Amino acid sequence: MSNIAYAKVGLSLRFETIDVGSKGNFFSGSDDWVRLLVNLAYNNPDDNFFIIGSSDFSKIKSSMRCKLFPNNNVFDTVGRRSVSMDDRPYAPIKYLNKHNINLDYGIIPLGPVLNRTIPNLTITKKGTIAKILDRAINFQAPVWNTLNETGIKWISLADDPRCLNLSYDLYNLPYKCVAQVNSVLNCKNIKSYDNLNEIETTIPVEYSNIEMSNCLDQRVYQIDDKWKHRKNKVCVVLNEASYDEGLTTTKLSNGHRPRYPILKEWLLNNFEDINVYGSWSEEIIKSSHAFKGKINRHQLYPEMMNWKHSLCVPIDKGWATAKYLEYLKCGVSPFMHPDYDDQKNTNIQDFYRVSSVEEFKDKVAMSDDTHIEEINKGIKNCLSDEYISGQRINDDIYSALGVERNIKNKVRNLWTPQKYNTLENFME
């Protein structure tokens, strides 16, 4: 049995709105990591998981808690947001000490982080004590301080290159980062609380099927000839790469490349009646009737079940996001931009890898029978029980921690997307 720390750095784990019946919030960057925790806790019943970051775990109704965590092996060490700002960074350590719990490992998905997070600690270049923002205290400090104080071996998980960062006052660094690309993470940090000298560290980043967290515990069915009657030929779910992206933007404030030029070149210029769902600037939205704005994930999946084809566009070259899996489980062709998964880490067939706009258009124009065959092949390759049960991602995570795991995962049908024929059926 192991005691494992778990948190989503930079965001709150959101349990109340995660189940498939929720009609409320838009997709959160923590939703898939909630699903991962649900899967880990269910398939590793002898391990205990301690939430050391922000969450609404304490608000979960008892019926939902029994459904999500029947092994009763998940615990909240931070508590409600009512914990004072002064106490919040140290809440997990106080909880662990009070209950005589020693952590063994940590599994920590990364999110948007600030560089300085722990109050009254680091010194600025001006020689003053760094002022810490409330956001850092709420969503980062409890996690970083717990990792620093316990010294446990831990791994970080990254599903977005914009979140591939660590903070300056974190000195117990991850053993490795498991992600959706093979790369390295370079970071600068203090040596310890007692030694504020700056050191530089390089951490390996390894592809490890992390995007599979999007598809855990849901049944995925192959398509049939009914696919031929879908109403939308080409649509896409795609967000801007940064809040300052506009029609003519060439350089973004976050250092990543704009997505709009790719969207325009590959889709908007070539297909009529295309729908684009996602967050974009007002300038871009007004430029074309194709932009439909943000959409709740529980509305999106039924909508996608009326699409035939789409295009996966990475934020940074090489990254494999969960988008190709979202498309496959809804029966949509997941064609990939040349920069998407160019390391070929995923198990998708080469048919969906296109090198040019013309090749993309030529493949879209192929027969419906060809597309049905290829989509079903993709579902078989990428969404078999090995993946949706969590077997592969569980084994990869425990292997990254250096822990031997001999468990056969079980498939649960918790989040399977449903197709609704009418608005009334959806509301019901």
pLDDT per residue over 336-371, tens digit each?
Answer: 999 999 999 999 999 999 999 999 999 999 999 999
Comparison of pLDDT for 390 and 425, the residue scoring more: 390
Q: Does the pLDDT value for residue 428 go beyond 80?
A: no
* Confidence band, pLDDT 50/70/90 cuts, at residue 101: very high
Total Cβ atoms within 10 A of residue 366: 12
pLDDT at 338: 96
The fraction of the chain above a pLDDT of 70, given in percent, is 94
Closest of 183, 161, 163, 190 to residue 108, by C-alpha: 163
Q: Which of 61-65, 135-139, 162-166, 423-427 has the lowest mean pLDDT?
A: 423-427
Q: Please tell me the predicted confidence (pLDDT) of residue 21.
A: 41
Report pLDDT for 80.
Answer: 66
**Angle made by CA atoms 14, 39, 172, in degrees to the nearest 5:** 70
Q: Higher pLDDT residue, 17 or 197?
A: 197
Mean pLDDT of the chain: 90
**The one-letter amino acid at 160:** D
Strands 232-237 and 307-312: parallel
Cα–Cα distance measured from residue 295 to residue 326, given in angstroms and rounded to the nearest whole number? 15
With cut-offs at 50, 70 and 90, classify the pLDDT of residue 420.
Answer: very low
**pLDDT digit string, tens, across residues 276-286:** 999 999 999 99
Question: What is the mean pLDDT of the segment spanning 193-213?
Answer: 93
Strands (E) located in 224-353: 232-237, 275-277, 291-293, 307-312, 333-336
Q: What is the DSSP string of 122-188?
A: -B-TTSSBPP--HHHHHHTHHHHHHHHHH--EEEEE-S-GGG----TT--S--S-EEESS-EEEEEE
pLDDT of residue 376: 98
Task: Give residue 416's pLDDT band: very low, low, confident or very high (50, 70, 90).
Answer: confident
Q: Is the dihedral of CA 75, 81, 82, 88 positive or negative?
A: positive
- What's the CA gap between 273 and 262, in Å, rounded? 18
Give pLDDT tens digits for 31-58. 899 999 999 999 999 999 999 999 999 8
pLDDT of residue 424: 41
Q: Could you give the percent of the chain with pLDDT greater than 90?
A: 72
Model confidence at 237: pLDDT above 90: yes
157-195 pLDDT, tens digit per residue, is 999 888 888 999 999 999 999 999 999 999 999 999 999
Looking at residues 90-96, what average pLDDT do you find? 95
Assess whether pLDDT exceeds 80 at residue 107.
yes
Mean pLDDT of 143-148: 97
**pLDDT higher than 60, residue 75:** yes
The answer to whether residue 97 scores a pLDDT higher than 80 is yes
Instruction: With cut-offs at 50, 70 and 90, classify the pLDDT of residue 27.
Output: very low
221 pLDDT above the threshold of 60 = yes
pLDDT of residue 187: 92
Confidence of residue 423 (pLDDT cuts 50, 70, 90): very low
Q: Which residue has the tokens 């067939």?
A: 349
Rounded to an integer, the average pLDDT of 140-155 is 97
Question: pLDDT digit string (tens) for 392-413?
Answer: 999 999 999 999 999 999 989 8
Taking only the tens place, the pLDDT of each residue in 118-130 is 998 888 888 888 8
Residue 82 scores a pLDDT above 50: yes
Owner of token pair 């009646």: 273
Q: How confident is the model at residue 328 (pLDDT cuts 50, 70, 90)?
A: very high
How many CB atoms neighbour CB 227 within 10 A?
18
326 contacts 348 by C-beta, under 8 angstroms: no
pLDDT tens readout for residues 285-316: 999 999 999 887 778 889 999 999 999 998 88
pLDDT value of residue 19: 60
All structural domains of the chain: 3-213 (no CATH), 221-382 (3.40.50.2000)
Whether 26 has a pLDDT exceeding 70, the answer reads no
